[in-house]
Chain A
Amino acid sequence: MSTQSQRPSARWFTNAADDEKTIYERSRPGRRAFVAPPSGVPERPLDELIPARLRRAEPPRLPEVSEPEIVRHYNRLSKRNFDLDTGFYPLGSCTMKHNPKLHERVAALPGHARLHPLQDPEHAQGALELMWRLQEALSEIAGLPHVSLQPSAGSHGELAGVLLTRAYHEDRGEHRTKVLTPDTAHGTNPATVTMAGYEVVKVGTDARGNVDLDDLRAKASDDVACLMLTNPSTLGLFESGIEEIAEVMHGVGATLYYDGANLNAIMGICRPGDMGFDIVHFNLHKTFTQPHGGGGPGAGPIAVSERIEPFLPRPQVVRRDPGASGNGAEPEPEGMRGVPPRMYDLDYDRPKSIGRLRGFQGNYGVFVRSYAYIRSLGAAGLREASEVAVLNANYLLARLRQEGVLELLPVAYDRLCMHEFVLSGAPMKRELEIKTLDLAKRLLDHGVHPPTVYFPLVVEEALMVEPTETETRETLDAFAATVAEVLREAREDPEIALGAPYSTPVRRLDEATAARRPIVRQPL
């Protein structure tokens, strides 16, 4: 029977039994928050408006609570969450950097927040200009001339990219069937390839952690539509052979797709467009500070090369020169003389477009925040963000080395890392008999969100660490010391980590039963 090390938990978490109730369990018949105003119109019997056979017999069962109960319930629920404003999230591949508070203020301005998506573009010039300027900025950062803001998340951007690739090849009369992805790829990459109707072919990783060029050359053929790459890779390493990779792929007529999840390492330092990529997606909820919201919203805009431009989703935000006619602008209707032609517009006249990927124009609220970020930082600030991101990652790695952590959790590939690095827990598992999972769970007791675990798949017992540029040295020092302490504790008594966490609102959860016999709603 091992000692259970408790840590004071009142700071963030509440553990009262009452907190476990759902909003439904707090409901009492007849309680309510909303009371509808009177219709104010002469009313007709409902049966006349909507025949009874089309109507529900019983109202939907929603919670029945007053406003104070709703507030208290969700406030107390919130305290059972760890969050970025409260603590460190060294989650590799997620870029959990600070979410500036200004962004919430500007996104809430009614001119942005209460703008209807079908408002006449002439009366949405502020919004369209913002989107156009954001496109220009992203284009400059990526080094590619054309941008679509439509995709709603990174994986949505990936889907756009692969569909664009398909349209490009078909326009040239080619029907290719395969897409290459490295075996280190994020799961969204192969999932996207299948959703777009292609077959996934995996490319291996060499001993230095880069794409295996020999394997790539063997698999690159004129049946390959595209190679999807992340650079730096999901191992946090720059693909030094990228020029050669681009040459191989362009040599067989394939497109080169850049997964922008790791853009935070290279802003202002190098650009995917200059490396030869045709299509790049950005994660506005990673690099560009859109708050992660517990799982979204985000946005995944794409930047593309000239040859891909004709196929971009519809509509595109464009800027027309004032006074110019044509460009697909509608002729001024009679009687509208004196009204200037709209300068920023939504262009639907795109005959080769792949079409729509979603309704309306995209996650505009996210664009407002990302644009505010780019305007706040400017060229120098964005470059500095990447420099410090890479500095912090290398510093943290060095501190972990100094604390002796790397003896049990060696870095997977012994070379300079970029903004993140991957450790392997295999030696720790052999010597201390605790796994990466157990280390992660014990870190929870220390008030730190663990790094990403078990990704990428090519590293055994992987632990992927990305500190980002907004963390202080002291936070990084403390994290390194905490990891070292957990390892020391495990050496003396592995049982502690195996049973962790202890101080969180719930202990380890039975995920197997949850998957075998899923309960996904409250029975009522």
Chain B
Amino acid sequence: MAEASYPGDLKYHAEHDWARIDGDEATFGITWYAQDALGEVVFFEAPAVGTTVSKDEAYTEVESVKAVSDVIAPLSGEIVAVNEELAATPETINEDPYGAGWLVKVQLSDPSEVESLMDASAYEASLE
């Protein structure tokens, strides 16, 4: 994705991760800023379904040609789905970080944590 974008319907974490809330489930991914800093993503190994993730802690890694980056969970819960397409085409994370480049879907264990996340304008401001 060539132009920076931060969709308004998402919530953002300071470590450059986003969450799309849907009731007590959420989808996670990394922001435009993160994929731009990483460069071309070459490898993503999805964690196993059923894994517990904790807010503010790393739950997996994304690799580019020249760097490896921890991916931080914006919220806590249990992984109920992973994006298996990324094994074959990890570059989707660069091309469509908020859509087809989603990483995992999580059953939230504490939906109140959402309040601690930023909205799009706050996140964008934090990047200055």
Contact = CB atoms under 8 A, between A and B. Distances in A.
A131 to B, nearest CB: 40
B26 interface: no
Contacts of B40: 512
Interface string B30-70: 00000000001011000000000000000000011110000
A511 interface: yes
Nearest to B94: A512
Interface in B7-32: none
Interface in B59-100: 63-66, 90-91
Contacts of A511: 65
Contacts of B91: 512, 516
A512 B42 CA distance: 6
A516 B64 CA distance: 9
B43 A516 contact: yes
A82 interface: no
Nearest to A513: B42
A41 B90 CA distance: 60
Place the interface of chain B in its size category. Answer: under 10
A413 interface: no
Is chain B's interface secondary structure helix, strand, loop, or mixed overall? loop
A454 interface: yes
A516 B90 CA distance: 8
B66 A516 contact: no
Interface residues of A, number: 5
B90 A454 contact: no
Contacts of A515: 42-43, 63, 65
B42 A454 contact: no
Nearest to B40: A512
Interface in A489-515: 511-512, 515
Contacts of A454: 66
Nearest to A515: B42
A511 B66 CA distance: 9
Nearest to B63: A515
A454 B42 CA distance: 19
Contacts of B63: 515
Contacts of A512: 40, 42, 64-65, 91
A515 B91 CA distance: 11
A437 to B, nearest CB: 9
A69 B48 CA distance: 51
A516 B91 CA distance: 9
Contacts of B65: 511-512, 515
Interface string A323-349: 000000000000000000000000000
Interface of A: 454, 511-512, 515-516
Given A512-B42, A515-B42, 5 more contacts: A512-B64, A515-B43, A515-B63, A515-B65, A516-B43
5 nearest CB pairs, A to B: A515-B42, A512-B40, A511-B65, A516-B42, A512-B65
15 contacts: A454-B66, A511-B65, A512-B40, A512-B42, A512-B64, A512-B65, A512-B91, A515-B42, A515-B43, A515-B63, A515-B65, A516-B42, A516-B43, A516-B90, A516-B91
